[in-house]
Amino acid sequence: MSLEDYRYDIEMCLRCSSCKWVDPMWAKSKRYNKICPISSRFHYDSFSCQGLMDISLAILDGEIDYNGTLADIVYHCTLCGACDVMCKRTLETERLLVIEELRKGLAERGLAPERALSRLSKFVDERRNPYGASEAKRFSWLEGKRRSNLKSGAKTAYFVGCTSSYKHPEIARASVDLLQSAKVDFVVMEPDEWCCGNPLFRTGQVKKAEGIMNHHLEVIREQGIETIITSCAECYHTWKVDYPRQHDRKTLGYRVVHITELLADLLKKGVFKFTKPVDMTVTYHDSCRLGRLSEPHEPWSGKRLQYGKLEPPKTWRRGTNGVYAPPRAVLNAIAGIKLLEMERVRENTFCCGAGAGVKWINRDFALETGVERLTEASDTGARALVSACPFCKWNFQDAASKEGSEMEILDVVEIAARAIS
């Protein structure tokens, strides 16, 4: 798709500002009724979805061209999808895809933030991870019984991801412990697991990301892997949404599940249970790519008819059917856990601030956004902020350190692992 392919969507922006706010039906207070991180922080219209639609239209009409100022705006956006979900409550248009196309256009023209993106791209190319860590150390956390209990030839693979492998191995260890405790036969893709490609997809470097995708698809074909389990929301989205956007989903031959989906299903069937209480008051953060952006990609091709009608009809990703219940079901199944909800939850969640490369490109803004969410978590009275994504944990820990907060930052699997050990 090109920017021109989204002209109808762009022209249909009503400038209603719904993209900036939690739908009034769900807003609980003035303090926490904003939903767009860049609009909340910068207050200029250009730092919002509706401003970016105006800019996109000006580009299409030849009034302006791609430039460095636009790059600064677009690469502050975390691509959290809040604007997309809010807009689709009134209009059937694509918003997030337009902003992603802007990033792609900027990257293709060499206007993306060069220092951060060239370094990111180089690390992924040479070391197969965005952190520049040794490729040989990706599975250094996997040792002892965890390694010996892997089931050679299993049709299920645990895709660990870069952030769990290098920054938060406690999440990887807890995930393996839970899977093995639940008697799930699985392997890891060592030594063939690379970065899933999410940082490249999100920063507009799509062609490079496709190379990584093709590598992983070949690996699972050769190994006969039919199910991918992830504990990372970013990896989950990449396997479930990004790869199928590049291929016909029906021909890919695998299914992807987040570990919280798997555990919730096993708990419901009664074939797995927690054996130890964990006394803790927590609040749960819905990660953008596990929540409102986790609905499967449904390919569509057709025509826009009068009044915007589509022929044939299109299946819209509205964010309402994300992975919301499973993480909460896991937490609620643990004796001693008291779950308190923040005001902005499920499809109305507020981004952690780290996504779409912003953690690398605009670190200060990522931290400010993380602090905003941390403040909301603290206002619930919870003592721990829990997510189901190592990327969120990374940014929340940095935000807590910046603020001197005593809020404990954990992943769902860490708490769940305490309930079995």
Cα(232)–Cα(330) distance, rounded to whole angstroms?
16
Q: What pTM, to 2 d.p., does this model score?
A: 0.95
The answer to whether 175 touches 159, Cβ cutoff 8 Å, is no
Best CA proximity match to 273, nearest among 285, 263, 281: 263
| Length of the chain measured in residues | 421
Residues in the chain with pLDDT < 50? none
Task: Provide the pLDDT for residue 241.
Answer: 96
The tens digit of pLDDT for each residue in 195-236 reads 999 999 999 999 999 999 999 999 999 999 999 999 999 999
The answer to whether 210 touches 244, Cβ cutoff 8 Å, is no
Q: Who contacts 216 (Cβ-Cβ below 8 Å, separation ≥6)?
A: 189, 192, 193, 194, 196, 243
Task: Provide the pLDDT for residue 160.
Answer: 98
C-alpha dist (Å) from residue 403 to 371, 397, 399, 400: 7, 10, 6, 5
The answer to whether 288 touches 351, Cβ cutoff 8 Å, is yes
Cα(80)–Cα(416) distance, rounded to whole angstroms?
27
Instruction: Locate the domains of the chain by residue range.
Output: 1-112, 138-268
What is the architecture of the domain spanning 138-268? 3-Layer(aba) Sandwich (3.40)
Task: Provide the pLDDT for residue 247.
Answer: 82
Best CA proximity match to 187, nearest among 151, 213, 149, 239: 151
The answer to whether 200 touches 122, Cβ cutoff 8 Å, is no
Task: Provide the pLDDT for residue 116.
Answer: 78
Task: Provide the pLDDT for residue 249.
Answer: 64
Task: Provide the pLDDT for residue 251.
Answer: 74
